[in-house]
């Protein structure tokens, strides 16, 4: 599966399509994110295993960001079933020690590029309203995503679901 | 798996937990719904198969509504991963010939009852903004669900995602 025709080099990170061997590195990114915990790791693990065990054209797509040969971040995205070309960004995460150096930006740019190449019409992102996710929300806004909807107390009381939305065509 | 302690009898429909044998009947309900098509059938099929092949405590839960021994509707719901006791109603559908006789109401009531028994905090429903789904939206409103969010053009241009929300505790 080739989710990028060629690796995308930025000044700070190399973004490439993930391979089945990247599972442990992706897990480490989550565990070193200061954002996600073991239940998130289990959820991402299940999605990663499913990607390779039951490959489908509309399945999950994975990118990793590398610096100096080490995986420092990843993104998981893909088409949403039962929609006409709406894509979801399910996960984007950079290890906390590697933040503020453009890896998240490079991952999001590559995911958008891939979605555009596959005629995506919309991209939608679901994220938390809480302060630790403020940098992520700022990243989405910087890429032209609009905060179009809020589901109150979705994750837990006081932690809303914020839905970001960008039209691609 | 017992999703209802005992079948819930209403004046018009008997609601019971689904068994693996109900797959074909559920497919028929969708195909006779005048709402859903083959891609929906494939999606529901995959969820149904997953339920029985890889049972998990937080997996999908299924109810069917019967009249005169025939399955006329079904619901699929369950806890949403990575949330604190938020449950999703993924599917609720009644065959078009059996509508307006309380089967949808009985299914939703039974799903809410099951969720409450399992300490659900919120229930969330994702549905289409288009006219064919107006009766479903009215049903949700009648049960106290609030339309809290809209994602424009989510399903396709002109077909928004409407999110309904109800606090259970």
pLDDT in tens, B73-94: 999 999 999 999 999 999 999 9
Q: What is the CATH superfamily name and number for domain B8-167?
A: Gcn5-related N-acetyltransferase (GNAT) (3.40.630.30)
Q: Do B156 and A84 touch (CB under 8 A)?
A: yes
Instruction: State the Cα–Cα distance between residues B38 and A69, nearest whole angstrom.
Output: 45
What are the tens digits of pLDDT across the range A2-20?
566 667 766 678 999 999 9
What are the tens digits of pLDDT across the range A27-62?
999 999 999 999 999 999 999 999 999 898 889 999
Task: With cut-offs at 50, 70 and 90, classify the pLDDT of residue B10.
Answer: low
Burial of A149 (0-12, 13-18, 19+ CB in 10 A): buried
B124 interfacial to chain A (CB closer than 8 Å): yes
Mean pLDDT, chain A, rounded, equals: 94
Q: What's the pLDDT score for residue B9?
A: 63
Q: Where does B32-138 show beta strands of DSSP type E?
A: 61-67, 70-79, 86-94, 122-128
Which residues of B fall within a CB distance of 8 Å from A157?
84, 121
Helix (H, G, I), strand (E, B) or coil at A43: helix
Q: Do B156 and A83 touch (CB under 8 A)?
A: yes
Q: Which of A81, A124, A149 sits opposite B163 (nearest CB)?
A: A149
**Binding-face residues of B in 10-49 toward A, CB within 8 A:** 39-40, 43
Helical (H) or strand (E) element with B119: none
CATH class in words for A8-119: alpha beta
User: Taking the domains of chain A in order of start, what are their residue ranges?
Assistant: 8-119
What are the tens digits of pLDDT across the range A78-120?
999 999 999 999 999 999 999 989 999 999 999 999 999 999 9
Size of chain A, expressed as the number of residues it contains = 169
CA distances from B8 to A69, B73, B118, B141 (A): 59, 14, 17, 22
- DSSP code of A2? -
Q: What's the pLDDT score for residue A146?
A: 98
Which ipTM value was assigned to this complex? 0.90
Helical (H) or strand (E) element with A14: strand A14-17
Q: What's the pLDDT score for residue B57?
A: 85
Q: Do B39 and A81 touch (CB under 8 A)?
A: yes
Q: Which of A39, A82, A84 sits opposite B40 (nearest CB)?
A: A82
């Amino acid at each position: 599966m080739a989710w990028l025709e060629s690796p995308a080099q930025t000044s700070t990170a190399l973004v490439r399509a993930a391979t089945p061997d990247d599972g442990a590195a992706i897990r480490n990114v989550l565990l070193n994110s200061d954002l996600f915990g073991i239940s998130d790791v289990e959820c991402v693990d299940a999605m990663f295993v499913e990607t390779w065990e039951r490959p489908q054209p509309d399945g999950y797509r994975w990118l990793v960001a590398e610096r100096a040969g080490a995986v420092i971040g990843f993104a998981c995205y893909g088409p949403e079933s039962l929609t006409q070309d709406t894509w979801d960004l399910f996960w984007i995460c950079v290890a906390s020690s590697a933040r503020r150096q453009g890896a998240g930006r490079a991952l999001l740019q590559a995911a958008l590029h891939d979605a555009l190449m596959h005629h995506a019409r919309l991209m939608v992102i679901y994220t938390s309203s809480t302060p630790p996710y403020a940098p992520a929300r700022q990243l989405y806004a910087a890429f032209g995503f609009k905060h179009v909807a809020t589901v109150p107390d979705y994750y837990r009381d006081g932690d809303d679901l914020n839905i970001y939305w960008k039209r691609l065509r």
